[in-house]
Structure 1
Amino acid sequence: MKVRYTRARAYEGPGTDPSFTLGKTYLVLGVRFQSDDRPIMITVQRDSDRTPVLVELQCFDVVDPAIPSDWCLFDFGGGCYSVEPSGFGGDFWDRFHDADSEAEKTFMRVIEKLESPQPHDFPDIAG
């Protein structure tokens, strides 16, 4: 799944927001949604340091809606869910942000697979 940053998000720092570039396309690493009225969030890597962050989907236009078949639905409880690569389940994000070397290796493998120009194992829903 890929999105293009088309609507600037609120930014209170000096100058322009260093996190995202208007018009740039980003690889989506997950989609998070809740059963209440909170906005849908996506995980993308910000420009400033390539850290994966949650940001509101409403700032982006979806340019490639394809979701690889190895992505899973994760239930965080309380009506909060995400759809993301199967390797990002459980306590993955906590370990990743704590600089766990195995989580970092998993992250890099997933990124390489998603960025690969090779065909992915997408389900054939066309019939």
Structure 2
Amino acid sequence: MIRKHLARKLKLIREDEFNFVWVYDFPLFEWDENEKRITPVHHPFTKPDENTAGYLDSEPLKVNSMAYDIVLNGEEIGGGSIRINDVNLQKKVFKILKLDEKKIRENFGFFIRALEYGTPPH
């Protein structure tokens, strides 16, 4: 808010232009100090970026996600992500998030079963 207010006051923003920007390379995980564990930045089904997925086992906080936003003149107007479509990768993400098997079965069992049958990239 302050940044945009100052930019307008200093006439750094042209009101007669549309300026778009794609935002990507979001982190997949973040450290939650209250919970003392890694949590998903977006949701636990976001696919890791292939360029950083190699860090999943060793340094998961270095992994980026395949998520994106579109911003117009400083305002987010849309966004989304590519979902995990591999059951083993999904289980690995759940493990990093320290979800136990019972909770996974209760909350996401239907989803894991669907992944076992195969789902297209989406």
The bucket for the TM-score relative to the shorter chain is: under 0.3
Q: Which has the higher strand share?
A: 1
Q: TM-score, normalised by structure 1?
A: 0.21
Kindly name which structure, 1 or 2, has the bigger radius of gyration based on alpha carbons.
2
